[in-house]
């Protein structure tokens, strides 16, 4: 009888009961991992927002009209703070009379093309008796160019383009009006031309006051 019982236990063993897990060893709730990912992603998004805001603030501080160190010019234009820097930026400096102007609109960008007749050259190789000078049209989207009036004379600081035409070095310092033999800078230009350039152009230094 004892042997039969032993054989029955070997043929049909009863598995021992599995002890319950201690509370501290219980499995983590199924929703824990997703909540952790949400927290991590939320932190990354907040950090990215801080970086973007910082870049925007820094960009708003650079060289705009609120910058006391320079006059209000377009952000993508150079502004020359000294006479030497301004004159070095030009390939040619001329005294010229405006013969005619015309407007163009290429690729949605409004430009004025002025035909000017050169009276004297203060820097660079004389470009010829008549040249074409381009600049943004007055009143156009920034930067807005100057009002160069036909039959008036100006000092023009010019860069030579690949096609043989010329452009003002910028819209605020690329021109000076001429009145009674003196130069008159534009409203946002505090830089005077050198005496050597003025002498070569047959002009006197800028009047003070």
How far apart are the C-alpha atoms of 181 and 202, rounded to whole Å? 8
How far apart are the C-alpha atoms of 13 and 5, rounded to whole Å? 11
How far apart are the C-alpha atoms of 71 and 66, rounded to whole Å? 9
Domain residue spans in the chain? 91-200
pLDDT in tens, the chain (209 residues): 444 444 344 445 444 544 454 444 444 444 444 444 443 444 444 444 444 443 333 333 333 333 434 444 444 788 999 999 999 999 999 999 999 999 998 767 889 999 999 999 999 987 889 999 999 888 766 677 888 999 999 999 999 999 889 999 999 999 999 999 999 999 889 999 999 999 999 998 765 54
Report pLDDT for 61.
Answer: 31
CATH of 91-200 among 2.60.40.10, 1.10.357.10, 2.40.50.120, 3.40.50.10320: 2.40.50.120
Residue 158, beta-bridge partner list: 92, 168
b or e along 94-132 (b: 16 or more beta carbons within 10 Å of the residue's beta carbon)?
Answer: bbbebeebeeeeeeeebbbebebebbebbbeeebeeebb
């Amino acid at each position: 009888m004892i042997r039969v019982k032993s054989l029955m236990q070997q043929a049909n063993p009863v598995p021992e009961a599995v002890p319950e897990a201690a509370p501290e060893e219980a499995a983590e709730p199924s929703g824990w991992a997703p909540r952790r990912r949400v927290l991590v992603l939320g932190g990354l998004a907040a950090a990215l927002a801080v970086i973007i805001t910082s870049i925007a603030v820094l960009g708003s501080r650079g060289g705009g009209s609120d910058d006391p160190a320079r006059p209000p010019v377009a952000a993508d234009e150079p502004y020359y703070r000294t006479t030497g820097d301004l004159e070095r930026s030009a390939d040619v400096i001329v005294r010229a009379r405006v013969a005619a102007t015309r407007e163009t609109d290429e690729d949605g960008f409004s430009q004025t093309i002025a035909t000017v007749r050169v009276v004297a050259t203060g820097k660079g190789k004389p470009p010829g008796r008549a040249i074409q000078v381009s600049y943004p049209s007055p009143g156009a989207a920034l930067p807005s160019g100057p009002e160069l009036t036909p039959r008036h004379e100006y000092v023009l600081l010019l860069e030579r383009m690949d096609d043989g035409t010329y452009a003002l070095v910028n819209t605020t310092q690329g021109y000076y009006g001429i009145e009674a033999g003196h130069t008159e800078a534009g409203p946002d230009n505090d830089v005077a031309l050198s005496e050597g350039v003025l002498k070569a152009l047959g002009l006197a230094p800028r009047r003070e006051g």
